[in-house]
Structure 1
Amino acid sequence: MEPFSFATSDSLDYPVSIRIINLEGSEPPLPFSTLLEHPELRHIGSNQSPHSDLYVTVQVWAGSKPLTVPVQTAYKSFRNERRWNEWLTLPVNYSTLPQNSRLAITIWDVSPTGGPGAHGHAIPFGGTTLPLFDKDNQLHKGRQKCHVYRHRRADGNDDSKTPAILPKKKSRKGAPEDKDADELDRMEKLFKKHEMGEIPRVDWLDQLVFRGFEKRGLQSARSHTKSAQQQKAARADALKDGEDADSSPEPSNFLLNVELPRFDFPIVFADHEYSPPPVSSYLHPSSSQSNLVLRPPPEIQLGPGINAAEDDEGYGGRLIRVYDPEVAAKDNPAESKHRRLIRGQHRNGILDKDLKPNAKVRDELNTIMAYSPTHTLSPDEKDLIWKFRHHLTRNKKAITKFVKSVNWHDQSESRQAAQILGKWTDIDVDDALELLGPTFDNSAVRAFAVDRLRKADDQELLLYLLQLVQALKYEHISPQPGHEVTQDSSLARFLISRAANSFTLGNYFWWYVMVECDDKSLDQGADNQAIYGKIAYDFMTELVKRPGGEETRKTLKRQAEWIAILSKISGEIKESNESIAKRTERVKQFLADPRNELVTIDPPLPLPLDPSVEIIGVAPEDTVVFKSSLHPIKVSFKTTSGRKYPIIFKTGDDLRQDQLVIQIITLMDDLLQKENLDLKLSPYKILATSTSAGLSQFVHSMSFQSITSKYRNNPALAYLKQNNPDSQGPMGLRKETLDTFVKSCAGYCVITYILGVGDRHLDNLLLAPDGHFFHADFGYILGRDPKPFAPAMKLSKEMVDCMGGSNSEHYRQFKQYCFLAYSALRKNCNLILNLFTLMANANIPDIKLEPDKAALKVKERFHLEMDEEDAIRHLERIMDDNLNALVPVVIDKLHELVQAFRA
């Protein structure tokens, strides 16, 4: 079946137009006796000559009402036939037409004495009404033959009495069939297809058909004229008997030929869909809760019984539920008054500073303080926090709850809250990050959070830099030119200052900002690009002021040129249709060409992916082009340390999601090591240089799929034995290698479970020769997975077999590491949740699907509603279920078959 292509009428911004071609048909002249009895008929032009001058008016109607003013043809003197051949353009576009639109076409005759339906000195010669859309809701196009109703204006109503296209009448039994008329109708349809190019043109055959059609048409016209005269006589007899002439008007033997615009594709009617009404920007004055700011507009649904029968009793079946955008956003007057009364007692009271909670209230406050960042505070809880605000200044974990309880629209309350912030004890970084989120827009609160970040060193700041760059979207930065960013935003001022002082911070800060400047998607908008453009300009301006800043600026410029060179060859290789061998040879020649300035890089260039590594040239002989659809390129660069640093450069793919996952894994590794738990994670580095290109570190390893196809029995263990043999070690393997494998398996199993990493198969589970296990390809996170019934945790049989089986000591040690890692990360869940909250508007695919639920999806995996012991038991059940499940094995086998088929 051929694909059906069409366009919708709402996207057709083209004026309605019609070409009036000619008027066909004739009627017998009026008898002289009639003219004597009615002398006024002698002044009507059509009664004097069969080719008298006429003009045509066209008007768009819909819903039995006119949509436009009428447009008329220019004056034309006729000789042999009434032919206008003139295009008329009406003052309305197709995109705004309703489905029941129609053209009311009236042919006007001239009569100085007037007559029925006269309009000045013009009387209607005849009218016809042509619908613009057919019964299939497609726009009419091409030539149309319109039946003309004599002495009537086109009414344009939905139930028009002057329809241009007559419905087919079913022939009555015994009535003679009009074979000539049926054949003419069939030929008319074929001629129309021929004219539209749907029937191939054959000149000699077309001429024969046209001549035959003319002869048949003349015969049909003669017979039609006779029958018309008979009908007219019968109608005159009926009029004498007193019947109403207007009850059922009949079309005359006149036909008006018109032409409508032709389009390459069918135009199907589609009405303009209005976007749902936005949630009111007027927030509840007593809240800064994320569920109000980030909640999407609900769908408008009709109430039950809306289509009920008319005889329904009562009003229950006829109610319609209408969406009010101010619901849940506008302040409740009763709650507002209650809040003023409660907080009025504890606003400037002398005893407020000495107010302390009793044991019961202290327990309530401790429960509130333990809430996760995504929890919504009730009005009573906010009032309780406000009452003991001075007492809570000694509790660093209470800061975010206090800020949520303040009515920042109340000037007096917000002023006092800002003073209390200055007395608060030092807070943790995770709370500072929460205060920089999208729900806290008060400048004093955000400045307070930035002051805490000033105490973090560069290494710690680097762990959150990706999120802090995203937090700039929530600052009050004007996109208008002329304002410096540092004047508007304390966070921007802080980041620019720190990035200018440290090359490593500056390197990553610069590339994070450049990606935002490159993001031209509709989700971000032009203002977002303008803001980050100003930030980049202010950063460069600040660099020049610092000692050595000019050199740093030149280095960043050289990095951009280096990326542009790699992007050029990568793009060419991706688009070419050559074999892998020819692609690889072509890349090698490109890299070895001195004109591309990659053979020797002088002075050494800090690698954007890892600024601690300085490259001095390329090693073309190590180049590899991979077989995947985007054909990423592996390139090795010589470094100042004498080693080679292999990277993978890819174009055509947005690496920001992979970059985020690697950053979170790096952060979790840091958190685990602070708990004295080194799980040998060593995540590889990845950097998005634009929305469609990026770099990643290449780690020498093999996928489990490749290992299982190379080794038969216990493939992972056989692979490690080959690279790390030790006859004295456990299972003939070096103890350090097996220990590294067990620990890294535990770390990645827990982390990928928490992040909900999907699409796990043996091709993206990698194993390095030294025993480091790690995951790659993070195209699905937060519980998304392209395969049905995917396991919550990827723990394959090959991994367990390498540890000695599910009953071995090493597997028990593996489970112990999993429990320790899960417990340690649960303690730091607030930090991880806040980082995901800051990424809500980062235009990352799996977060963009439901931005307000990204942090909640991660929170579900922590199971904060359970105590530590129950959470560990739950994790153990997940591991056991996954190990004994059949579905993961089937998924791996299916994936192996698909890959083999593609190869």
Structure 2
Amino acid sequence: MDTYTFATSRQIDYPVCLRINTLEGKQSTIPQSVLLKHPEIRHIGSIQNPVSELYATVQLWAESKPLGVSVQTPHMFFKNNRTWNKWLELPVPVKDCPASSQVAITIWDLSPCPINGSVDHSVPFAGTTIPLFDDDGALRRGRQKCRMYRKKIADGHLPSTTPHIPRPKRRRRNEEPPEASPEEEELERLEQLFKKHEMNEIPQNDWLDQLVFQKVGKKAREVDEAATKRLSMRKAAKRRFSKDESSKVMAGGLLDQHDSDMSDSESEREDDEHFTLYIDLPRWDFPVIFEDHEYNPPRLMKEFQSNLSASMMGSKSPPEVRYGPGIATGTSVVDGDEYPVVQIFDPEQFQRENPCESKHRRLVRSDRNALYDVDQKPNAKLRDEINEILSYGPTQELTPQEKDVIWTFRRHLSRDKRALTKVVKATDWNSPSEARQIAELIPKWAKIDVDFALELLGPTYDSAVVRAYAVDRLRQAGDAELLLYLLQLVQALKFEQYDSQAETLPSSSLARFLIDRAANNFVLGNYLHWYLMVECDDQGPDTNAANRKLFARVEYHFMVELEKRAPEQRKTLLRQAEMIAVLSRISKEIRFNRSNRIQKIEMLKKYLADPKHELIKIDPPIPLPLDPEVEVSGIFPEEANVFKSSLSPLLLNFKIAGPVDAGSSATQTRSQIQGKYPMMFKTGDDLRQDQLVIQIIELMNNLLLKENLDLKLTPYRILATSPTAGAVQFIPSTAISAVSAKYKGSVLAYLRANNPDASGPLGVRKEAMDTYIRSCAGYCVITYILGVGDRHLDNLLLQPSGHFFHIDFGFILGRDPKPFAPLIKLCKEMVEGLGGTTSPQYAQFKQYCFTAYTTLRKSSSLVLNLFSLMVQSSVQDIRLVEEQMGGIGGAVGKVRERFHLDVSEEEAVRLLDQVLADSVNAVFGVVIDRLHEFVQGWRA
């Protein structure tokens, strides 16, 4: 089968052309009685001569409006039939024609007697209208047969009264449609074959084709004559029936018999005249499909689409639409081919509010009711409604009725810390009265938690009073907690409003708060500096120059503050930048070098050992940007390595300065305890998405530890040092694919080899098996919530101690390059390490999953607030999801779906259990893993 190929209309930069071929049809004779009553019509050219000189005009129409001027055929003298055989070129290219384009063709007759005193001696002979594109959106091509309408000008409106294919007439109830004769069906079949013949789909044979054309033409004339006779017989029978009925009418009836006979005779004569016009359109080698120019939808349209999709997903029925005069007749809506209903988007829908609702709100919230609201308390029914509103997630919008309820009892709710964000949403900040009342009430409000303060720093809150209050509540967070949110707080700087001309930052601003805290804590200052520098260097097409200028301004004020308080810290950050610049240059040279991997490793060792790079010995030691709590004094050049990858990442072992405290952290490797800090550095990759995922994993780990649930997670460190480079903490481990290859697909054999214990569960030391069970459960739940995709056996790692963890988070929020990927990566190798689905270890694994999931659901607002602060970031998948779905509900909505906040805790656990069962039994996941192993082996 040949490849199906087509072109699009926007690729055709060529004017619309057509050829007027032949007009076929027989004109009926005008009765003498009509000529006596209207003697002027005897001078019309077509009445004097059946092959009189006619000319055709062609004009392009779209959306009931003409596109350009009309063109016409030259005056010609006909001998035996009316054949023009002339190409006409319209002044509109195909690429500019909309899908509703129609070609209006009118045949004009000549009359010496103008109509209604006009100076134009042309009168319409017949007209027809043919769409440029067919019902499937394909550009018409080849010969076209058009029905002509006598004495009518071609109508280019939608719908047209002169369609080239007549619409079927309406039948009375129980009336059978007229059956086509076998001769007519045969002619229809032959016409389809003629079209194929014209498009060279049927082999041509000149002498035989001429005989066939003559025979078919003769047969067509016979069929037309037979059809005309049948039509005349039906009309005669109908006329006899009408006369019998009219004879029953009294002599003083309402009909003028003479006029009715005249009109009947004229209409019958016109119906008997069947004219057909044959035209030719260009015959393209491939089908041409209509393609419209895609404009980026405006912000208002995005909001309209998001609201429409939300209403369709909800249980609410679509709003009722009422149509105006001329469209609706009585109580029925006319919406058909003849009278289509066109719905128009109103751009003011999201700019201007309903004046009735606005007046209602002003009356309800006026100052006259302020004293009454002080002592007002909700009854039992309203308390239940308010509690339901307070349980809404941070991204759920409030209806006008819910806003009125929250506003009415705002003073009563000031004792509930959960209600502040809802009251702020219910406030009309364009009303000076409401803004003043809330500004006076906020200082008296019950102290809110940090996660609610993060919500107030999001893009939907632009009140300076509210944001200042949120910053004030952030002051209660310690440095360790603030470090967990620092990545999102840097992004929240985009939503601040600053005076660009001011020399200092406002004391109540988020930027000033971050600078003050970072200047007093070097760890905070280290990460704040690098987060800001990455945003300043981001020159991508989706970034905003104003945002880069904002981050540069905050970085400048941070450097000024460090110069005042701790100039040594500023010098340390500058030395870090110099070291990262050297590593970036080395990484690029290694990456673009065309040597083999062995030569690249030798080249790397030579670069690191070169004294001019000042890497073999760093004096005095500096904090490592990736982990500022660790000071390094140099690099071990002989232990450097280059990974097998297209980006050629570098493996570097830094010398740790001073003694190392052997802690219990999972990310503290044996190398670190021995005085080495292994780190991977690479260029050509944006690590900000991986950095975000690791930060969320670390946050969730802290939330679980607060509930005394230690799942032995491994949130290794990642730091993006530029939009295209970064550092990753290297954790010595083995991929599940390598474990499977070495131990014949048995993770359990790997655990037994590294942790043998005959008395332990499944022959593995109890602590190692417990670590494996917990870490598998933790990462299954977290990757499910974050929608991590592209999971295969090469990015699932396992340490000898039993710690299981994921790497490479290039796809999140439900995006996955593989089709039919399971929602949780629970491969058979992982299950085999647990002893199978019937083992006690697997049951314990599921129990850990359920406990972790319910625990994280309780803190879902915090996670959703953190993602809401990232909606305008340059993280790849967040940006893609936001573009697809629009609004803040894009990325946040994807995470919210995985929490299943709309169902009870028992139902959410049941849904997670079903997802685990589907993942274990996913057959396609096994196929993908095997295919991935084959591709990786072929590449190697």
**2:544 is aligned with 1:525:** yes
Alignment partner of 1:330 out of 352, 356, 365? 352
**2:438 is aligned with 1:406:** no
1:774 corresponds to: 805
1:598 corresponds to: 615
1:488-518 Cα offsets, whole Å, 9 max, x none, are 8611111111111110000000100011101
Tell me if the contact between 1:477 and 1:489 (Cα under 8 Å) persists in the aligned partners: no
Q: Once the 2 structures are TM-superposed, how far is the Cα of residue 347 of structure 1 from its aligned partner?
A: 4.5
Q: Once the 2 structures are TM-superposed, how far is the Cα of residue 485 of structure 1 from its aligned partner?
A: 5.7
Aligned partner of residue 689 in structure 1, secondary structure = strand
2:846 corresponds to: 815
Tell me if the contact between 1:729 and 1:735 (Cα under 8 Å) persists in the aligned partners: yes
Separation in structure 2 between the aligned mates of residue 313 and residue 429 of structure 1, nearest angstrom = 55
1:669 corresponds to: 701
1:631 corresponds to: 648
2:862 corresponds to: 831
1:424 corresponds to: 445
**2:584 is aligned with 1:553:** no
Alignment partner of 2:635 out of 596, 618, 631? 618
Q: Once the 2 structures are TM-superposed, how far is the Cα of residue 461 of structure 1 from its aligned partner?
A: 0.2
Against the structure 1 CA distance between its residues 756 and 820, is the aligned structure 2 distance closer, same or farther, given a 3 Å change threshold? same
1:212 corresponds to: none
1:312-352 Cα offsets, whole Å, 9 max, x none, are 99797444333332223321111111111222277421x42
Against the structure 1 CA distance between its residues 576 and 826, is the aligned structure 2 distance closer, same or farther, given a 3 Å change threshold? same
1:147-181 Cα offsets, whole Å, 9 max, x none, are xxxxxxxxxxxxxxxxxxxxxxxxxx9xxxxxxxx
Separation in structure 2 between the aligned mates of residue 461 and residue 313 of structure 1, nearest angstrom = 60
Q: How many residues align?
A: 631
Tell me if the contact between 1:280 and 1:326 (Cα under 8 Å) persists in the aligned partners: no
Alignment partner of 1:588 out of 602, 605, 610? 605
Q: Which amino acid aligns with 2:547?
A: N
2:468 corresponds to: 447
Tell me if the contact between 2:689 and 2:876 (Cα under 8 Å) persists in the aligned partners: yes
TM-score by length of 1: 0.66
Aligned partner of residue 696 in structure 1, secondary structure = strand
Alignment partner of 1:734 out of 751, 754, 765? 765
Tell me if the contact between 2:733 and 2:799 (Cα under 8 Å) persists in the aligned partners: yes
Separation in structure 2 between the aligned mates of residue 390 and residue 497 of structure 1, nearest angstrom = 34
Against the structure 1 CA distance between its residues 290 and 885, is the aligned structure 2 distance closer, same or farther, given a 3 Å change threshold? closer
Separation in structure 2 between the aligned mates of residue 339 and residue 603 of structure 1, nearest angstrom = 66
Separation in structure 1 between the aligned mates of residue 760 and residue 294 of structure 2, nearest angstrom = 70
Tell me if the contact between 1:679 and 1:744 (Cα under 8 Å) persists in the aligned partners: yes
Separation in structure 2 between the aligned mates of residue 444 and residue 331 of structure 1, nearest angstrom = 24
1:678-699 Cα offsets, whole Å, 9 max, x none, are 1110211001011000000000
Against the structure 1 CA distance between its residues 278 and 891, is the aligned structure 2 distance closer, same or farther, given a 3 Å change threshold? closer
Tell me if the contact between 2:300 and 2:350 (Cα under 8 Å) persists in the aligned partners: no
Tell me if the contact between 1:475 and 1:489 (Cα under 8 Å) persists in the aligned partners: no
**2:736 is aligned with 1:704:** yes
Alignment partner of 1:501 out of 506, 520, 533? 520
1:195-243 Cα offsets, whole Å, 9 max, x none, are xxxxxxxxxxxxxxxxxxxxxxxxxxxxxxxxxxxxxxxxxxxxxxxxx
Q: Once the 2 structures are TM-superposed, how far is the Cα of residue 359 of structure 1 from its aligned partner?
A: 1.4
Tell me if the contact between 2:739 and 2:745 (Cα under 8 Å) persists in the aligned partners: no
Aligned partner of residue 327 in structure 1, secondary structure = helix
Tell me if the contact between 1:280 and 1:329 (Cα under 8 Å) persists in the aligned partners: no
After the TM superposition, which residues 510-521 of structure 1 pair with which residues of structure 2 at under 5 Å, given as runs? 510-521=529-540
**2:370 is aligned with 1:348:** yes
Alignment partner of 1:849 out of 880, 883, 907? 880
Q: Once the 2 structures are TM-superposed, how far is the Cα of residue 64 of structure 1 from its aligned partner?
A: 6.6
Separation in structure 2 between the aligned mates of residue 416 and residue 290 of structure 1, nearest angstrom = 35
Q: Once the 2 structures are TM-superposed, how far is the Cα of residue 725 of structure 1 from its aligned partner?
A: 1.9
1:731-767 Cα offsets, whole Å, 9 max, x none, are 2221111111110110000000000000111100000
Against the structure 1 CA distance between its residues 758 and 707, is the aligned structure 2 distance closer, same or farther, given a 3 Å change threshold? same
Q: Which amino acid aligns with 1:417?
A: I
1:682-729 Cα offsets, whole Å, 9 max, x none, are 211001011000000000000000100111252x12222222222332
Q: Which amino acid aligns with 1:684?
A: Y
Tell me if the contact between 2:642 and 2:650 (Cα under 8 Å) persists in the aligned partners: yes
Separation in structure 2 between the aligned mates of residue 414 and residue 876 of structure 1, nearest angstrom = 47
After the TM superposition, which residues 681-830 of structure 1 pair with which residues of structure 2 at under 5 Å, given as runs? 681-712=713-744, 714=746, 716-830=747-861
**2:394 is aligned with 1:373:** yes
Separation in structure 1 between the aligned mates of residue 308 and residue 339 of structure 2, nearest angstrom = 36
Question: Tell me, which stretches of 5 or more residues in structure 2 are unaligned?
Answer: 14-66, 71-92, 99-205, 207-289, 312-322, 324-333, 660-673, 883-887
Separation in structure 2 between the aligned mates of residue 320 and residue 569 of structure 1, nearest angstrom = 63
Aligned partner of residue 659 in structure 1, secondary structure = helix
1:646-701 Cα offsets, whole Å, 9 max, x none, are 00101000000000000000000000001110111021100101100000000000
1:362 corresponds to: 383
After the TM superposition, which residues 30-109 of structure 1 pair with which residues of structure 2 at under 5 Å, given as runs? none
After the TM superposition, which of the residue ranges 317-326 and 757-766 deviates more from structure 2?
317-326
Aligned partner of residue 588 in structure 1, secondary structure = helix
After the TM superposition, which of the residue ranges 553-562 and 321-330 deviates more from structure 2?
321-330
Aligned partner of residue 677 in structure 1, secondary structure = coil
Q: Which amino acid aligns with 1:499?
A: A
Q: Once the 2 structures are TM-superposed, how far is the Cα of residue 845 of structure 1 from its aligned partner?
A: 1.1
1:882 corresponds to: 919
Tell me if the contact between 1:347 and 1:413 (Cα under 8 Å) persists in the aligned partners: no
Separation in structure 2 between the aligned mates of residue 892 and residue 451 of structure 1, nearest angstrom = 50
Q: Once the 2 structures are TM-superposed, how far is the Cα of residue 900 of structure 1 from its aligned partner?
A: 1.1
**2:405 is aligned with 1:384:** yes
Tell me if the contact between 1:429 and 1:452 (Cα under 8 Å) persists in the aligned partners: yes
Separation in structure 2 between the aligned mates of residue 765 and residue 697 of structure 1, nearest angstrom = 16
Q: Once the 2 structures are TM-superposed, how far is the Cα of residue 374 of structure 1 from its aligned partner?
A: 1.4
After the TM superposition, which of the residue ranges 495-504 and 846-855 deviates more from structure 2?
846-855
Aligned partner of residue 849 in structure 1, secondary structure = helix
Against the structure 1 CA distance between its residues 732 and 424, is the aligned structure 2 distance closer, same or farther, given a 3 Å change threshold? same
Aligned partner of residue 745 in structure 1, secondary structure = helix
Q: Once the 2 structures are TM-superposed, how far is the Cα of residue 778 of structure 1 from its aligned partner?
A: 0.3
Separation in structure 1 between the aligned mates of residue 430 and residue 369 of structure 2, nearest angstrom = 15
1:104-139 Cα offsets, whole Å, 9 max, x none, are xxxxxxxxxxxxxxxxxxxxxxxxxxxxxxxxxxxx
2:563 corresponds to: 544
Tell me if the contact between 1:289 and 1:439 (Cα under 8 Å) persists in the aligned partners: no
**Identical amino acids, percent of aligned pairs:** 57
1:774-800 Cα offsets, whole Å, 9 max, x none, are 000000000010011000001111111
Against the structure 1 CA distance between its residues 861 and 281, is the aligned structure 2 distance closer, same or farther, given a 3 Å change threshold? closer
Q: Once the 2 structures are TM-superposed, how far is the Cα of residue 802 of structure 1 from its aligned partner?
A: 1.2
Alignment partner of 2:489 out of 468, 483, 498? 468
Tell me if the contact between 1:282 and 1:330 (Cα under 8 Å) persists in the aligned partners: no
**2:688 is aligned with 1:656:** yes
Against the structure 1 CA distance between its residues 273 and 314, is the aligned structure 2 distance closer, same or farther, given a 3 Å change threshold? closer
Q: Once the 2 structures are TM-superposed, how far is the Cα of residue 899 of structure 1 from its aligned partner?
A: 0.9
Separation in structure 2 between the aligned mates of residue 346 and residue 706 of structure 1, nearest angstrom = 75
Q: Which amino acid aligns with 2:456?
A: L
Tell me if the contact between 2:635 and 2:654 (Cα under 8 Å) persists in the aligned partners: yes
